[in-house]
Homo-oligomer: A and B are copies of this chain.
Amino acid sequence: MYVKKLPELDYGVATTIKALGGKWKACILDCLHLGIRRPSELCRNIPGASLRVLSQQLKELEACHIVYKKVYAEVPLRVEYYLTSWGESLWPVIVAMNEWGNAYLHHHCNSTPQES
C-alpha cells in the first residue's frame, strides 16, 4: 500500500477533507444513507466509478471508521456496508457542504470552481 512521504496537516478541516475528500466518497455515503449497501449496487448507482475504485474508497472509509462492513456467508458473496456512528455524525457536515456547493453551482452557471 502507499506510504505518505509529505508531512500531513492535522487540524480539523484538513482531517475532514482527508476523510471525505476522495473522489467518490460523498457519493458512496449518500448511497449508504439511501440504503444502497452492496458494492455492485453502488457501482450501478454511481455512473463513472468502477468496482475497483469503489472498493478502494470503501476501504479507506472503513479505515476512517466512517463505514463498517458486514459479510454474509453466501454465494455469490454478499457484502454490505453501513455508516458507523461517526459516519452518521458526519451527515450534517455533508449537508452543509452540499448546500454551499449547490448554491455556488447555481450562481456560477454550473461551471466548476477552478474554471470560472
* Count of identical protomers in the assembly: 2
Contact of A105 among B10, B27, B86, B116 (CB under 8 A): B10
Q: Does A108 contact B (CB under 8 A)?
A: yes
Chain A binding surface, main DSSP class: helix
Are A64 and B113 within 8 A (Cβ)? Answer: yes
In the assembled complex, which residues on chain B have CB atoms less than 8 Å from the CB atom of A78? none
Contact of A100 among B8, B90, B108, B112 (CB under 8 A): B90
**Within the assembled complex, what's the spacing in Å between the Cα atoms of A96 and B93?**
6
Please indicate which of the listed interface residues A12, A18, A23, A26 has the most CB atoms of chain B within 10 Å of its own CB: A12
Q: Does A99 contact B (CB under 8 A)?
A: yes
Interface residues of A in 22-49 (CB under 8 A from B): 23, 26-27, 48
In the assembled complex, which residues on chain B have CB atoms less than 8 Å from the CB atom of A105? 10-12, 15
Contact of A104 among B19, B60, B115 (CB under 8 A): B19
For A17, the closest partner residue in chain B by CB is: B21
Q: Does A94 contact B (CB under 8 A)?
A: yes
